[in-house]
Every structure is written in structure tokens, then in C-alpha cells.
Structure 1
Amino acid sequence: MTNILLTGSSRGIGAAIAAALDLPGITLIGHGTNSGIPADFVDPAAPAVLWQAALDQFGGQIDVLINNAGVFEENPIDRDDDAWLANWNRTMQINLTASAALCRLAVRHWQERKAPGRIVNIASRAAYRGDSPAHWHYAASKAGMVAMTKSIARGYARDGILAFAICPGFTMTGMAEDYLASRGGDKLLADIPLGRVADPAEVATAARFLALDAPPSMTGAVLDINGASYVR
């Protein structure tokens, strides 16, 4: 039996990942606002509470951590100074710091058990390409997630602890629909050679592969799912 903790599982990419991992031999615990274990990642203590709750439900063993929870909120630079900084810090706390806290707990858990484990972090194309002038914080948080993933992969591979990241481009979730509507969908779609945004199920297919089947030598890999809108 493989025990998986998935954050942000209640909608969008997270819900698609949960569906993709509805397999024999897999036990999944989700976290989210609408289902699973509730935890507000604005609270610095929330990741540890979530981890312990999942650990208790799993009987003391977690094998895979998938960090998917995140926010995508505008933060224009002409905002009031305090409001701009507060929004920057909120995005960093939810998107990066909470994920880092869970990764740390996962690594320590596997080290203590002398057991292998896998981390899959859902980052973004913005980590490499950047984002709009109102989304510095989002791009920076996702770039940090990619760098963290690579650091974990390099630091703990000898312990059998593997780390991967996925960088989706626009994906048809609630966040993407709002963004497409606000920025002019046709113009943005013209920038995607495939001619469409990704479906959450496509991201979920990659997440399932990394969580269960990717060979150990792939640790540290970052998979792009963006319709060739950014190639590197």
C-alpha cells in the first residue's frame, strides 16, 4: 500500500490528481477547502498540523507528498506599500513556505524511518518565463519551488528520497479561466503553439507518473506541460 498526501486536492489540478491516483494499492489523503483535511496555509503552523493529521490517519507512514496548493492573485505595483507587501508575503507563505515546511517534514520522516519517499511539487511555467507585471510574487514563489525541488533531489538521493517538479502553463482551472478573461483569452492562446491550454488531467497524468513510476535516476527532473509556449 502506498500512502499519499496531496495538498489542494479539492478542485482543479488537485482534484484531477486525486482522480488519477484512485488506484488499487493507493491510499490518498487530500487537503483543501472543500474536501479532505482542512488547513489554511496562511497560518505558519498549518503545514505541521496537516502533516500530523495525515500521519495519524495513515497509521504513521506517508510514502509520497504532492504539493499542489497555491494561490494566484493580482498584486499591482501601484498598490499601497503595506498592501503590496502583505499580498507578496501571503502568496509566498501559501505557495512556497507551506510547501517547504511539508517537504522538510517529509524528508525527516523518511530519514527517521530509513525509508524511501517521493515529493512531487506543482510549480509553474512562470518559474522560468516569469509572469505578468501584477504577478511578480507568483512567479517568484514558483521559481523558489523549483529551486527547492532540485536542492532536495541533490541533497537526499542517497537516502532514496526523490523529488520532482511539474511546471504547467495555463491550465483550465478556475484560476486560469479568471486570468484568461481578464487578459484577453484570444491573445494568450495565440502564444501557445498547441492552440489550447492544458487540461488538468494532463498535469495529473504527469503527477501520477512521478509519484509512482518515474525511475530514480529522474530525481530532480522538472516536467513542462505548456503546449510549447515556453521551451528550454
Structure 2
Amino acid sequence: MPTVLVTGATRGIGAAIAAALSTRGARVIRHGSKSVDGALGADLADPGAPQQLWHDALELAGGPIDILINNAGRFEANPIEGSDIGWLDGWEDTLRINLTAAAQLSRFAIRHWQRQAIPGRIIHVASRAAYRGDSPAHWHYAAAKAGMIGLHKTIARAYAAEHILSFAITPGFTDTAMADDYLASRGGPALLADIPLGRVATPLEIAAIAVFCALDAPPSMTGAVIDANGASYVR
């Protein structure tokens, strides 16, 4: 079974993905912002952290890493009424973690697979916000996730002939600690009126899609974006 690096795997969706992959027999290397319970610690707000994380993951793997799952993310409000420097810092920090770090890791993974002439897969955990947008305080989050979709599609088209595949998942609201404050700020239960399914997604549901993309999806699905938003946004 393959070796998989999962970023942001110490809680929420990432933890669910790591557990589901382990149940299927994959060897999972987990990343967190800090070293917790055996996870590799790396603060992706640091421009040098993705490279160090990739190096540490390869050393721990003792061989190739077959699959990269870009799940780590930052979700904090950044209202336009804030100070100019504060707003800019919030913008850059979010894009650094949610997009640039994912791009760096994707680049390291693709070059790794090219050098060894082996297949590989990348799964990007993006967001419904990539297509629908988000709240007025979350321009940065929506922009980063839209950028991730553009990154994913470019990778899929560029490297399919080398058996390097790319998949993306775009969850809507998901029941994680990261979303709790946001759900409350948007009215909590009233928010469900916008979701035809009548509830938000669970981390286990998103994990099931990620595991499918990592282990089961046929190669012809490369470039696909899989929505998981309870029909709150259909394309």
C-alpha cells in the first residue's frame, strides 16, 4: 500500500482522512502545525516550512511518498474595516498557508515522482468558496481556495502523461472546530436553511471522498473537482 503525506492531519478533516487511510492499510505520515502524537510539526506560515516538511517526510518514509494530500488550512475572519497593515497581514498569512504552501509541496512531490519515474497522486482539499465566494470578512479564504482549484487543474493537465494525477474536493460547511466560530457568526442553525440536505457535512464524509481519490479513483478522473456541500451550491 502507498505512503501518504497528509497535511493538517491532527484535527478535523485531516485527522479523519489520516484515520480512514490507515484503516485501508496505507502508511500515513501526518503533519500538524506542531509535533503532536507523532505528527511532523511545521508552521506553514513560514516560507521555509514546506521544504523542511517534505524533507522530514521523505526521511521518515525511507522511500518514496506516493500520495500528497493538501489539507492544511487557515480560516480566520479578516474584515475590511481593520487597519491597512492588519488586513494585509491577514491576507498574506492565509494565502501563504492555504495556497502557497500547498503549491510548494505539490512542486516537491511532482519533482520527486519525475526523478524516480513513478506515478503519484495529489488531493487538494479546497472549498465551495472557490466557486461561490465567502463572507465579506473572508475574501482571502475564497481567493486562496480558488487559487488551489486553478493549481489543481493545471497540474492535472500538465502531468497526466507522466501518470501524475490530481484531484480536488470542495466541501461546503463541515462540522470541524475550525468552522465553529464562523457558523455561529452566520446564525448557527439559521445557516442550514441554505443547505437543502439540512445539515453540514461531517469530516468522515470528506475523508471518504479523499480516500477514494487517493486509492480508488480511476486515472481518467484526474482533473476532477468533487463537490460536497449538501447541494448548497451546484455547478
Structure 2-normalised TM-score?
0.97
1:68 matched to which residue of 2? 71
Alignment equivalent of 1:111, drawn from 103, 111, 114: 114
**2:227 is the alignment partner of 1:231:** no
1:206 matched to which residue of 2? 209
Query: Which amino acid in structure 2 is aligned with residue 69 of structure 1?
Result: A
CA offset at residue 60 of structure 1? Answer: 2.9
2:56 matched to which residue of 1? 53
Q: Which range moved further: 4-13 or 16-25?
A: 16-25
Query: Tell me, what secondary structure is at the counterpart of 1:229?
Result: coil
Query: Tell me, what secondary structure is at the counterpart of 1:172?
Result: coil
1:29 matched to which residue of 2? 29
User: After superposition, what is the alpha-carbon deviation per residue over 1:100-157, rounded to whole angstroms, capped at 9, x for unaligned?
Assistant: 0000000000000000000000000000000000000000000000110000000000
1:4 matched to which residue of 2? 4
Query: Which amino acid in structure 2 is aligned with residue 28 of structure 1?
Result: V
Q: 1:115 to 1:188 in 2, by over 3 A?
A: same
CA offset at residue 183 of structure 1? Answer: 1.6
Name the CA distance, whole Å, in 2 between partners of 1:54 and 1:4. Answer: 9
Query: Which amino acid in structure 1 is aligned with residue 101 of structure 2?
Result: A
Query: Tell me, what secondary structure is at the counterpart of 1:167?
Result: strand
Name the CA distance, whole Å, in 2 between partners of 1:187 and 1:175. Answer: 19
Name the CA distance, whole Å, in 1 between partners of 2:128 and 2:166. Answer: 18
Unaligned runs of 5+ in 1: none
Name the CA distance, whole Å, in 2 between partners of 1:135 and 1:45. Answer: 25
Q: 1:127 to 1:24 in 2, by over 3 A?
A: closer
Query: Which amino acid in structure 2 is aligned with residue 75 of structure 1?
Result: N
Name the CA distance, whole Å, in 2 between partners of 1:180 and 1:39. Answer: 28
1:183 matched to which residue of 2? 186
Percent identical among aligned pairs is 65
**2:223 is the alignment partner of 1:220:** yes
CA offset at residue 186 of structure 1? Answer: 2.3
Q: Which range moved further: 76-85 or 15-24?
A: 15-24
Q: 1:23 to 1:159 in 2, by over 3 A?
A: same
Q: Runs of 4 or more off by more than 2 Å in structure 1? A: none
1:145 matched to which residue of 2? 148
Name the CA distance, whole Å, in 2 between partners of 1:23 and 1:119. Answer: 20
1:133 matched to which residue of 2? 136
1:100 matched to which residue of 2? 103
Alignment equivalent of 2:83, drawn from 58, 80, 83: 80
Name the CA distance, whole Å, in 1 between partners of 2:167 and 2:59. Answer: 25
Name the CA distance, whole Å, in 1 between partners of 2:23 and 2:176. Answer: 23
CA offset at residue 24 of structure 1? Answer: 5.2
Alignment equivalent of 2:157, drawn from 154, 157, 165: 154
**2:47 is the alignment partner of 1:15:** no
Query: Which amino acid in structure 1 is aligned with residue 94 of structure 2?
Result: T
Query: Which amino acid in structure 2 is aligned with residue 4 of structure 1?
Result: V
Query: Which amino acid in structure 2 is aligned with residue 149 of structure 1?
Result: H
Name the CA distance, whole Å, in 1 between partners of 2:29 and 2:23. Answer: 13
Name the CA distance, whole Å, in 1 between partners of 2:156 and 2:191. Answer: 34
Between Structure 1 and Structure 2, how many residues are aligned?
232
Query: Tell me, what secondary structure is at the counterpart of 1:118?
Result: strand
